[in-house]
Structure 1
Amino acid sequence: MSEIFDALRRWPDVEAPGLVAVDAADRLILDESAELRASAQPGDVAVINDAYGALTLGAAHAGADGIRAHLDAITGERALEANASRLGLADHFRIVPLDASLVSGARVVVLRLPRSLEALRDIAGLIAAHADADVVVVAGGRLKHMSVSMNTVLGEHFGQLDVSHARQKSRVLSARAPRDGRDPAPAAVRVAGLEVRAYGGAFAGARLDIGTRLLLENLPYVPVGGTPSDPLIDLACGTGIVGAWMATQYPGAHVYASDQSAIAVASARATMLANGIEDRVAVARDDMLGARPSASASFIALNPPFHSAAAVTDLIAPRMFTDVARVLRPGGQLWCVWNSGLRYRPLLERTIGPTEQVARNAKFTVTVSTRR
């Protein structure tokens, strides 16, 4: 198996020393599920929440075929495809949405535990509703990201739960006897005058985080753009709060919202539908703004993330600013909110153009950068 792991890359996600494509939790999950997978028939195995292909390709290399895999991040999905092509394993799996088709009839589910309990609840309910009655879920993660509450959540949908010994600061939970299955449904709350919908695991959930609140309080009342060919852009949209706010504040304006997370995109689409603005807000799953033409936008709003998979990193925002600079036409503006300690202003100046501070509170700064 080591030859598989040694070949894995994170690309097109950020790559840097300390950012790995496979870790001890992946290895433990594969070891703990090996016997179950050995007796599985084609189509019996589903992989959920893989990061860059370690679980899917590890299972494929060991003989599993017809694997159904779901990765939330589009960068992880593309990394899986690139790694599989390089290793000659592309024919052993297919990528499937997080719905009944992913786990229907599955007998072995290999799961990298999400950090969000609500995301785990959605996944566990889905498996219990649609997998084989004899399904075994082998779910693992790093101890620093696990809690006993995960046992409780799995216990809501499975009658038997076994806990492995810890190994290299990782652990596996094995769940059997599915019960009380249900399909995921988004949480709903009214914030900032909007009906917000959030599936488990979406950034900030069904609430308004303090950075986004500061951004909304300071966005200009009449932004440029807002036409079908030049929409207002909500980059890294999460549940779609900013995009929905712009669409409701500026009647008739068109908005383009994008995020790399499948959970975020599903949540944002549900938010737009709940507010009756789905005809004016296009929601796309994309790596930054890869699908947008260069020099095609006048207005972009952004609250940049600082997580790549489970790793905290300051390498994501620079890549996003570079893509923003590509997509903005001269004179176009980026309105950005960021943690003040990150000191992004010089980077914004270099990458995009003249940058002014618009607002600041105890933790966050809002700036506007104008494309040169």
Structure 2
Amino acid sequence: MPLDFALLRRHPDVEGHGLEASDAADRLILDESAPLVAGAGDGDLVVIDDAYGALALGAAAAGARGIRVHQDLVTGERALAGNAERTGLADRVRSLPLGAELLRGARLVLLRLPRSLDRLDELAGLVARHAASDVVVVAGGRIKHMSLAMNDVLGAWFDRVDVSHARQKSRVLTARGAHEQRQPPAPGWPRGERHDDLGITVVAHGGVFAGTGVDIGTRFLLEQLGGAMPDAPSAVDLASGSGVVAAWLARSRPGLRVTATDRSAAAAASARETAEVNRVADRVTVTQADALERLPDASETFVVLNPPFHSDAALHTGIAAHLFDDAARVLAPGGELWCVWNSHLHYRPLLERAVGSTRQVARNPKFTVTASRRPE
């Protein structure tokens, strides 16, 4: 029986008008792969970067079993689990980390195309190395987020890449003929880059925000952090990305213990490796989590945040509001949230309501840095 997409929810991710748990690209991927799904044996199918479970559960509803799934975001993994229970398909899917076990022996991979070419390159390489030699990759997305360069990235790992007709502003790429070495060869993943001006090396997996670079908002924030909360025994790098802020704080303050947390598995893996290469892993604890769920109430005095403002492909302030609220919960009385944000987003009233008294620390033509203090 076909999946009823109306049953799917985004929870615990941001929900609201215009934020759907599935879209036309999911349906096109499932339609284009339907004959392959019908012929797949138990355990042959792998689904990667399925936002909220539409691909995995659509394939399960079509009869596939033993479906292995990897979603980068912990919120997506939890949404899949909830949707699987809601649709009665929980026994057909299981979530795994990105790696050899996920892909070993796979003959069909359904992939929601990432917007990052680096992410696509890393995923394609893993599929080519670990899946069955006759694996077929059916990858799709919204045309506005696709580029011809995606064909080239897949073509570096597969002999043949076919392009579907467009439907409802979506398109699918189908790749066959995997080879284990990239053509032409390129550096592997993760990759690292030294930033002498900051005194740190940044390590990143494909698709992590800013990659091995340091974005200008984070740089502006770091310029302000030298004297921030100097007596704090610990700090939290919330939405840590590649772990730039965590590593910089730990390097700058030899006695400081830092918790770095991000909902992205790729970001958490990158932050761990960034801490390792900068020799601060003994004082930096990295977790993959939804905001600060693993930290108790009123337990920290210093939280640092460069908040994302996209929910999947949609511009939405709900993620920032969620992070502000959880920072407020974790801050002890008198603790502070230091935050950098694009000035046009006007986050200050939101910070005032969620955390407390908020002062502007610095502002340039694009970014604002604020410090919000939890009432004592």
TM bucket normalised to smaller: over 0.9
1:116 is displaced (CA, Å) by: 0.2
Distance 2:78 2:23 in 1: 19
Q: Tell whether the 8 Å contact from 2:242 to 2:267 is kept in structure 1 after alignment.
A: yes
TM-score (norm 2): 0.96
> Match for residue 130 of structure 2?
130
Counterparts of 2:259 and 2:4, CA distance in 1: 39
What secondary structure does 1:118 align onto? helix
Are the equivalent residues in 2 in contact too, given 1:130–1:181 (CA < 8 A)? no
Three-state SS of the structure 1 residue aligned to 2:296 is coil
* Aligned partner of residue 30 in structure 2, secondary structure: helix
Whether 1:208 and 2:214 are equivalent positions in the alignment is yes
Match of 1:343 among 342, 346, 358: 346
Please give the per-residue CA displacement for 1:13-54, whole angstroms capped at 9, x wherever unaligned: 000100110000000000111100111111100000100000
Q: Are residues 109 and 162 of structure 1, via their aligned partners in 2, closer, same or farther at CA, if it must alter by over 3 Å? A: same
Question: Structure 1 20/225 Cα, relative in aligned 2: closer, same or farther at 3 Å?
Answer: farther
Letter in 1 for 2:280: I
Partner letter of residue 185 of structure 1?
W
Q: Give the secondary structure class of the aligned counterpart of 2:94.
A: strand
What residue ranges of structure 2 are gaps of 5+ in the alignment?
A: none
2:248 to 245, 249, 254: 245
Counterpart secondary structure, 1:175: strand
Structure 2 residue 13 is matched with structure 1 residue 9: no
Counterpart code for 1:288: A
User: How many residues are treated as equivalent by the alignment?
Assistant: 369
Partner SS, residue 168 of structure 1: coil
- Give the distance between the partners of 2:245 and 2:343, measured in 1 at CA: 20
**Could you tell me how far 1:318 is from its partner in structure 2?**
1.0
1:186 aligns with 2:166: no
| Cα deviation, residue 288, structure 1 | 0.4
Report how far residue 312 of structure 1 moved: 1.6
Q: What is the Cα deviation at residue 226 of structure 1?
A: 5.1
Shift of 1:253: 1.1
Letter in 1 for 2:209: F
Q: Does 1:302 align with 2:308?
A: no
Residue identity in the other structure for 2:371: V
Q: Deviations over 1:174-198 (max 9, x none)?
A: 0000013479621111122101001
C-alpha contact (below 8 Å) 1:223/1:299 kept by paired residues: yes
* CA distance in 2: counterparts of 1:53 and 1:9, whole angstroms: 9
User: Against the structure 1 CA distance between its residues 144 and 111, is the aligned structure 2 distance closer, same or farther, given a 3 Å change threshold?
Assistant: same
Amino acid corresponding to residue 343 of structure 2 in structure 1: S
Identity %: 60
Q: Aligned to 2:317, which of 311, 314, 317?
A: 314
> Runs of 4 or more off by more than 6 Å in structure 1?
none
Q: Is this contact kept in 1: 2:143–2:170, CA < 8 A?
A: yes
State whether residues 3 and 57 of structure 2, in contact with CA within 8 Å, keep that contact through their aligned partners in structure 1.
Answer: no
What whole-Å deviation, never above 9, does each CA across 1:146-185 have from its counterpart, x for those lacking one? 0000000000000011110000000000000001347962
**Range that drifts further, 341-350 or 115-124:** 341-350
**Distance of 1:30 and 1:4 partners within structure 2:** 13
Tell me what 2:227 maps to: 221
How many angstroms does 1:316 deviate by? 1.1
Distance 1:226 1:135 in 2: 52
- For the aligned residues, what is the CA RMSD? 1.3
**Residue type of the alignment partner of 1:166:** A
| Partner SS, residue 282 of structure 2 | coil
Shift of 1:218: 0.2
CA apart distance, 1:4: 2.5
Match of 1:234 in 2: 237
Equivalent positions of 1:55-74 (< 5 A) are 55-74=55-74
CA distance in 2, matches of 1:97, 1:135: 19
Alignment of 1:157-172 (within 5 A): 157-172=157-172
